[in-house]
A = this chain, B = another copy of it.
């Protein structure tokens, strides 16, 4: 399949910043970008799409999600954290079976595709259900079965979570479908015994795994770890070898300077979740400092239960403004930085080195932003429009690996009405 986009404005990453070439062509051959330029390519194409009034850019990589949690969207939103978790989230999660997980996953896919997300890193149970839905949808995802253990007597060989994680890896981490990558995951320091964590990390490292963790999300978690182990969560994970293979850490709100040194030295990737950190009252991750140090920082929504959506343009927006407010300096963050976080940095974190940027040879993970709405006029600075003015409904098209999965409100691989029906059914059971 060869597709040609014509009359497109195209956002390119050049010399460390984003520039727009106007009224240009972009060609896709199979799952790759084969041409970008001002002159019309002479090849023949199966399909030509006129992108007049639209901006092509890399799709978004949502690097921390629990996508089936859309089933809990808005539930107990304004309760104190513990009450929300123990009285709302956990009792409902206890009732979830594969059927609800599937409905929730697919609803999340609908939302993500409509908002320009091409790939996401997920951490939830029943991930094989999510894997099947992602495979069928044409999207990309880094999936994992998170390991936790509260029982000091539990032995690694008895951990069904470790078993499920390795099973998922064996079943789905196939070279022939690199849209789906299987990561490893320890939920967090405070939810896992050292014994289980150490044994599992060994399994992950043997496979050169990419380890997805929650890290220093709150002051409470951070300080309790120090009291318990005499180590910060970062030091705890590091001592267990968690950073000896690839790893990425969500939140990182309360990292100490010495933690950041470890993160940098070990090449750990950080996922910033601004909406979730604000909504749950976790606080301000020192993202500007991490970026200055050279740490690779990506963006994520976290689950919809604590966000309450999966809207990467909203994360771009919050990441671009809240640190300015917190540090009382209008120049702390800028459009180039946050667009890169949502695209190139995210793809890198996921181990997708040929994604996250529109350039010849890269995978064709492309979105088109329609610039027709009043809130995107006048068109003077496209990257400012994306960062500060756009909303996810401005995403007109989402293409993953050269296939259009969403265009002008229509889904090509997902049945929205059927998914809504299944969600209704799930809700009747859960609430």
A residues apposed to B, CB below 8 Å: 70-71, 73-75, 77-81, 84, 107, 110-111, 114-115, 219, 275, 277-284, 304, 307-311, 314, 317-318, 320-322, 324-332, 334-336, 373-375, 377-378, 380-381, 384-385, 387-389, 391-394, 416, 420, 423-424, 426-427, 431
Contacts and interface: CB of A to CB of B under 8 A. Distances in A.
A341 to B, nearest CB: 15
Contacts of A327: 281
Nearest to A373: B114
10 contacts: A70-B377, A73-B378, A77-B335, A84-B330, A107-B374, A111-B375, A278-B324, A281-B328, A322-B322, A380-B427
Q: How many copies does the complex hold?
A: 2
A423 B371 CA distance: 14
Contacts of A114: 373-375
Contacts of A307: 388
Given A325-B322, A391-B311, A393-B393, A423 B330 contact: no
A331 B321 CA distance: 22
Given A330-B81, A423-B378, A282 B325 contact: yes
B282 A328 contact: yes
A416 B375 CA distance: 12
Contacts of A388: 74, 77, 279, 307-309
Of the candidates A71, A74, A385, the one having the most CB atoms from chain B within 10 angstroms of its own CB is A74
Contacts of A282: 325, 328
A378 B328 CA distance: 38
A411 to B, nearest CB: 10
A302 to B, nearest CB: 12
Given A75-B381, A308-B388, A391-B392, 19 more contacts: A73-B377, A73-B389, A74-B381, A77-B388, A81-B330, A114-B374, A279-B320, A279-B321, A281-B324, A282-B325, A309-B375, A311-B391, A322-B325, A326-B326, A373-B393, A377-B420, A377-B423, A378-B423, A380-B431
